[in-house]
Structure 1
């Protein structure tokens, strides 16, 4: 299916979005910006090059995720008296993700959107309470925007959805697998997930099967428009369902609000959570980072929000790199600057998103292949091919060979 340009029709006043990560919230803002169409705003020059950063960068909202009302709603995305998208944040428990989500919530409010911070984790009855609190809004929504179609909590919410229009915004490279699985009519399973858990795990899967099957049906569009599904993505998806709409996310909102960045002479490395997800051996990963830092003269390492403090401490000691823990998604950090003239990453989302966000800045994005020898014994059978596909399909990036990391021990 041919990828179409972003639409410029107004979004519904009753558009409800669910996000669980900072990147998902960023991509909801990008989707809303694309739906609103071009606008004459401060900071946008006639040549299309933005100059003024968002005023929200001055500080985060309060510790509960709430903040002051939007100070300037330059666009209204709703119909009639609508004030934009209502965004429900379902925060994870790790502090880094929560901190970035609070900063992103402030940016969303500055754009005229409503943000609701809804705890759905951290307690035995938290999911049930959250579901009850959201039920009325979910049933009333005309359009539902989802950041993570693989999320079990989001799939549970889908059992309450009456809207005929669903929009899936990027949750990183997982979008590629989502589109492929939907096209083939397969069960939605994350590419790095390995089955297990013995009998208790199988019983949980069996009990959850009706919810999963419902989600698969809801994400399958019906020809003729009675059930519409849109995917808003920067990822190179292939062979989507014939009735699915795929729209390009070219990070226009990010480029309009931040930068262009000041460039440093050095190289920056970008971290991944491949160790945390059990795909790559931690010792192999550390040695590969050390080799990349030496080869490219890197001085900074931008950590993924899910990387553990222990892992980052070991990386710093082994490589001498300055570890940077960003307070916003890397696309915004890089666009705001300062940033190295070269950014090196392993196969991950940023090798697809950064070339869009940094268009015209002179920054080179490079991707280093993952050697199959780095994979753990517990890595899924899909891991090797999926990571290779992430690299092979990256646009406007320089490809680096895998580093020859010696065996651990």
Structure 2
């Protein structure tokens, strides 16, 4: 089996983001399973593609076979991708996915039901996924606005419904959730904690700076938080805590980041790898400030023993857009409170 042309493996992973690939490596390290092929269903945005290219290089250095699949190049890419991946899917004993809400992943699962399934983190959506699976609900991202369903969503409803059944344990199929997030196992499902042991062994410990760093979020881009409120909050946090750098999320817009740089004087850093690895490599501030997102659960285990303090900034209700999902307020509050409870993080306001 070579990295350039991976052969069929017992464990087959589909990833669409750098964080998913990081967590697949953590799963492989935790389980000791080396018969692994990772298929990158390449996204279209340049930042994600760049981070994925670098993560793919790290994975290959770890002896993992990686296949880069241009799955979104236009007309004909979907049937070509399904045709190319069919042999790997049929041979795999276990399929590992990072985003159970992905239409691409759902379609693959409907065509080829896995014998065993593992879901790794791609974000806080893991919390919503396990809750919806336990309640038997249809799979809907937490930030998706309520109301009438879009025509595309209605057309894909049969695919989503079948995928949901494939994502649940049934008969001889086992389902595992490998996560750093505090979730309760749905009936018949195994939850395995992700302690970021591979990350801690592979990188660091980091060199610490005296100041504070602020971690950005894509809540504006996903339509949850008002952009003006967000910019004001970033400015207030930077002033109150003496932050000097802003680590941008890969999906944050250039226009928003330019505004933050101009109005706050913060140095904008666009990481080349997931923040968990960047923070382990350093240099990094002794204090990290973050809005409620995945990193308030992943950074504590990744940075354990480094002396770094992580502080979470709650999202005030008035920051939310009028069009935000009705679930957004409660979900974000839950992320904040669970981070405080699970990791003892301090809370600050802006």
What residue in structure 2 maps to residue 289 of structure 1? 234
Query: Match of 1:362?
Result: 307
Q: CA deviation at 1:337?
A: 0.5
Larger Rg: 1
Q: Would the aligned equivalents of 1:144 and 1:167 in 2 still touch at CA under 8 Å?
A: yes
Report the counterpart of residue 156 of structure 2 in structure 1.
208
Which residue is 1:145 aligned to? 96
Question: Deviations 1:29-87 (Å, cap 9, x if unpaired)?
Answer: 00000001xxxxxxxxxxxxxxxxxxxxxxxxxxxxxxxxxxxxxxxx35xxxxx3100
Q: Is the 8 A contact 1:164 1:227 kept in 2?
A: yes
Q: Does 1:227 align with 2:173?
A: yes
Contact 2:113 2:166 survives alignment (8 Å): no
Q: Which residue of 1 aligns with 2:343?
A: 396
2:42 and 2:62 map into 1 onto residues whose CA distance is 20
Counterpart for residue 14 of structure 1: 10
* Residue equivalent to 2:5: none
Q: Which protein is richer in helix relative to its size?
A: 2
Tell me whether 271-280 or 158-167 shows the greater mean CA deviation: 158-167
Question: Match of 2:111, SS?
Answer: coil
Residue 182 (structure 1) aligned to one of 129, 133, 136 = 133
Residue of structure 1 equivalent to 2:63: 112
> Matched residue of 1:191: which SS?
coil
- Correspondence for 2:200 among 247, 250, 255: 255
Map of 1:25 onto structure 2: 21
Structure 2: distance between partners of 1:197 and 1:125:
30
Whole-Å Cα distance in 2 between the matches of residues 173 and 375 of structure 1? 18
Deviation at 1:399, TM superposition (A): 2.8
Q: Write the distance in 2 (CA, Å) between the matches of 1:206 and 1:339.
A: 46
Residue 309 of structure 1: aligned partner:
254
Aligned residue pair count: 341
- Mapped to 2, the partners of 1:141 and 1:305 lie a distance apart of 31
Deviation string for 1:168-226 (max 9, x for gaps)? 0011100000000000110000000115787xx23x2332121111111111113xx61
| Cα drift, residue 164 of structure 1 | 1.4
Deviations 1:330-356 (A, max 9, x none): 000000101000000000000000000
Asked if 1:173 is matched to 2:120, the reply is no
**Structure 1 residue corresponding to 2:223, chosen from 268, 271, 278:** 278
The answer to whether the 8 A contact 1:179-1:241 is kept is yes
3-state secondary structure, aligned to 1:86: strand
In 1: Cα distance, 2:140 partner to 2:79 partner? 23
Contact 1:365 1:397 in 2 (8 A): no
Matches of 1:365 and 1:15 in 2, distance apart? 35
Q: Residues of 2 paired with 1:193 and 1:120: CA distance?
A: 24
| Residue segments in structure 1 that go unaligned for 5+ positions in a row | 1-11, 37-76, 79-83, 404-409
CA distance in 2, matches of 1:293, 1:378: 28
Counterpart position of 1:236: 182
- Whether contact under 8 Å (1:281, 1:376) holds in the other structure is yes
Within 1, Cα distance between the matches of 2:68 and 2:331? 33
Contact 1:141–1:162 (8 Å) recurs in 2? no
Cross-structure match for 1:55:
none
**C-alpha displacement of 1:103:** 0.5
Alpha-carbon distance change, 196 to 117 in structure 1, aligned in 2, over 3 angstroms: farther
CA contact (8 A) 2:179 2:191 kept: yes
TM-score by length of structure 1 reads: 0.81
**Contact 1:21/1:97 (CA < 8 Å) preserved in 2?**
yes
Residue 177 of structure 2 aligns to a residue whose secondary structure is: strand
Distance of 2:319 and 2:103 partners within structure 1: 30
CA RMSD of aligned residues (A): 1.4
Distance of 1:361 and 1:17 partners within structure 2: 31
Match of 1:35 in 2: 31
SS at match of 2:156: helix
